[in-house]
Amino acid sequence: MSAPNAKKPPFEAIEHLTADAVEAARDAVRRAGGGAPAPAVALILGSGLGPLADRLDDRVAVETAALPHYPLSTVEGHSGRLVFGTLRGVPVAALAGRVHGYEGYAPWQITFPVRVLAGLGARSLLITNASGSARAEFEPGDLMLITDHIHLSFRSPLRGWNRDDLAPRYVDLEEAYDREYLALAERAALDLGIRVRRGVLFSSLGPAYETAAEVRMLRALGADAACMSTAPEVIVARQLGMRVLGISCLTNHATGLSEKRLSHDEVTETADRVRETFARLVEEIVSRLPAAR
């Protein structure tokens, strides 16, 4: 199967992050967005969850491949669109298609979209992903509110260029995932009758799934689910002062917890199955966020 963006031209590569590059991409988004209102909330939609962007009212879609310096998304289920609109009357920007380190990008490149979203005015980030459950009692199709993460790609998105007048070099991650937002999300799920889990997310580089031994290790470290994204984006979001809520769609049991062999097809199939439930929860949460008021 060819990559979704195989026919698109390569993005304009630059060697390292610069303020000019972020500003150029931000300004291009504003022009392409045709005067769409500045987003109060940014959404990053994980594997198979991109269609949630189609639920926005007054949608304006921007192809990220057309933006300067913006990395191309090459993974199935990540279309590479930045969609502006409103959700329950709240101005949002939804990124349907993130990029990953395993696609060959540097950490600063996979977090470039977060800097653009913050530059557009978003002060809250609702970030989602598809993850493998490391706990037998967490079933495929469950939604997990991320309480913390373990980032073991050993590649920091903060390494390299920094402007101390724009963002701090050293970032406090004591509350990487906002406690008020977590409580708000739990109340929203309860009101909707949607069961949610709480757990710690293990973030690795990928693209290989974890071995059974690695799953035992990450459980010993305190992780409840594993993914190949999210932690770098959250680190940069916190550097930029954004408040973060993370939700994992648990699409499969990790290696050693199931007799089924893992595949990306299973990931997208499970995400498709729970898409409506996930969308209802996201809509309700967005309507309740302080940024919405």
C-alpha closest to that of 47 among 107, 129, 152: 129
Out of 24, 36, 69, 78, the active site residue is 78
Please confirm, yes or no, whether 229 is among the known catalytic residues. Answer: yes
Residue 12's pLDDT band (cuts 50, 70, 90): low
Task: Tell me the whole-structure pTM to 2 decimals.
Answer: 0.90
Residue 255 tokens read as: 């290696």
> Where is 132: in which H helix or E strand?
strand 124-133
Q: Is 69 a catalytic residue?
A: no
Instruction: Mark 103-133 as b/e (b = at least 16 C-beta within 10 Å).
Output: bebbbbbbbbbbbbbbbbebbbbbbbbbbbb
For the chain, give the longest Cα–Cα distance.
Answer: 52
Query: Is 237 a residue of the active site?
Result: no
Which tokens hold the place of 84?
């502006």
Fold of the domain spanning 19-292:
Rossmann fold (3.40.50)
Residue 78: active-site member: yes
* Residue 151 falls in the annotated catalytic set: no
Lowest pLDDT segment from 152-161, 169-178, 198-207: 152-161
User: What is the tens place of the pLDDT at every residue in 121-147?
Assistant: 999 999 999 999 999 999 999 999 999
Report the run of H or E that residue 218 belongs to, with start and end.
Answer: helix 212-221
In sequence order, what are the beta bridge partners of 210?
Answer: none
CA distance 230 to 246: 8
Give the Cα-Cα-Cα angle 110, 111, 113 (nearest 5 degrees).
100
Judge contact between 97 and 125, C-beta under 8 A: no
Tell me whether residue 47 is one of the annotated catalytic residues. Answer: yes
Place of tokens 């002060």: 123
**Which one is catalytic: 69, 100, 149, 151?**
100
Selected catalytic residue, list 42, 229, 266, 283: 229
Q: Looking at 167, 186, 264, 292, which residue is catalytic? A: 264
- Of the residues 47, 129, 133, 204, only one is catalytic, namely 47
What's the angle, vertex CA 140, arms to CA 56 and CA 83, rounded to 5?
Answer: 15
With beta carbons less than 8 A apart as the criterion, state whether 17 and 108 touch. yes
Tens-place pLDDT, residues 46-105: 866 777 888 899 999 999 888 999 888 776 655 688 999 999 999 999 998 788 888 889
Q: Which of 248, 228, 246 is CA-nearest to residue 99?
A: 228
Model pLDDT, residue 132: 92
pLDDT tens per residue, range 232-285: 999 999 999 999 999 999 998 888 887 777 677 777 787 778 888 999 999 999
